[in-house]
Structure 1
């Protein structure tokens, strides 16, 4: 849509308990026409800055914090149980459990990156995850899967939205949780998810399209981590 507003401001949300972004004095709603009540001022200010940075047209692709806020309002909060179940499901086929059976150099790199994260999942959540090599799936214990689900359930709606991005891009619930709990930063999490790709690039090089895709995915992981940082900044 065209930018038809002039002034952007952050104000206490109606009824208290958070902040709203106002355009010419009117609060912004989600695409689903739900009020956007943002719990942290730092995050609200970042959302306001995105709106203020728009020039002639409002381009949602350049407004990642706004996108996460809208996702919470329109998708996460209305169907929280579904989102929790979807995220917890990644634990059954988590990237950090699937090692290449060859070449040995790649397997060693994967295990060096992923074994400490499996250990962390065991210590942090009580989820002992079994690794496997090759294409055959490995069944994780019901107790471990239940432990991971509890880890997801313990998060608030505002944390589930960035966790969904982190998990879906990396293919790993463990990596997503590691970012939310401060075990990894965004760059380290993305690198851990691309051990195989990085190895192949070393051997065969990379085409332009693949490089653009990697940059886009890395940026999305960084945006999700930034959202969590702003959310917790208060």
Structure 2
């Protein structure tokens, strides 16, 4: 799409802050007004629109896309999306440990992942079943319920960020730790990619895997920034 506007502005609204292009409000694909909860987030999204050249490239506007997701999807389908995020309570990446034949990796996982699980145990008063290998083992009902309640308690914009974060990290516990600022994003990204980074140390770099991980990292960092700006 060709750029069709010259000036980007932020306008105060009753429910937040709107983005205007040449005085006209921006709408989402579902025709909702793009109303942001904080001036900080509105400013960052306005900067995305301002940075567009002759052609508008949606790939360079990750914050706009996440805001659209909050307004078009989470608001209309909140129960389904919360359920999707909460589903990771029963299949969190952190539960699955290397088999006995890879004891060194299992020890590394325990060293790096167990403190994060300990944080969740204390924070949400839950317990976890750890699994050797990839066979699924259901987690305690109380754990699933309480982690699900922690997701349900978040606002729509946080839910939009969490949907991206949990998909990229494979971990609801890590995502909740980020939401609650118990861990920093860089540490959590390293923990989410622990096994892949371990394999690189053992067998060397795979350029394709690294390139794929960097793409995901950019998406992860955008979701983290969106989360921080939406709550600032």
Determine the structure 2 residue equivalent to 1:219: 218
What is the alpha-carbon distance in structure 2 between the residues aligned to residue 128 and residue 203 of structure 1?
Answer: 32
Tell me the TM-score normalised to structure 2 length: 0.97
Q: Give the aligned partner of residue 140 of structure 2.
A: 141
* Structure 1: tracts of 5 or more residues without a match: none
Partner deviation per Cα, 1:142-163 (whole Å, 9 max, x = no partner)? 1110000010011011100111
C-alpha separation between the residues in 1 aligned to 2:143 and 2:29? 37
Q: C-alpha distance in 1, partners of 2:190/2:206?
A: 18
Which aligned pairs between 1:115-126 and structure 2 lie closer than 5 A?
115-126=114-125
In 2, distance between residues paired with 1:9 and 1:223? 22
Residue 109 of structure 1: CA displacement? 1.1
1:137-195 deviations in Å (ceiling 9; x for gaps):
22111111000001001101110011111100111111111111112222111110111
In structure 1, the residue corresponding to 2:27 is in which secondary structure? Answer: coil
Does the 8 Å contact 1:119/1:128 carry over to 2?
A: no
Alignment of 1:185-204 (within 5 A): 185-204=184-203
Instruction: Say what the alpha-carbon RMSD is for the aligned residues.
Output: 1.0
1:173 and 2:172 correspond: yes
Q: Separation in 2 of the partners of 1:221 and 1:54?
A: 22
1:50 aligns with 48
Q: Residue 67 of structure 1: CA displacement?
A: 0.8
CA distance, structure 2, for counterparts of residue 91 and residue 221 of structure 1: 19
Residue in 1 aligned with 2:57?
59
Higher mean alpha-carbon deviation, 141-150 vs 223-232, is at 223-232
Q: Which runs of 5+ in 2 are unaligned?
A: none
Matched residue, 1:69: 67
CA distance in 1, matches of 2:109, 2:167: 19
Cα separation, 2, equivalents of 1:35 and 1:126: 40
Q: Conserved in 1, the CA contact under 8 Å of 2:200 and 2:206?
A: no
Give the Cα separation in 1 of the matches to 2:53 and 2:206: 33
Could you tell me which residue of structure 1 aligns to residue 8 of structure 2?
8
Tell me, in whole angstroms, the C-alpha distance in 2 between the residues paired with 1:87 and 1:164: 6
For 2:77, what is the secondary structure of its paired residue?
Answer: helix
Per mean C-alpha deviation after superposition, the further-off stretch among 165-174 and 203-212 is: 203-212
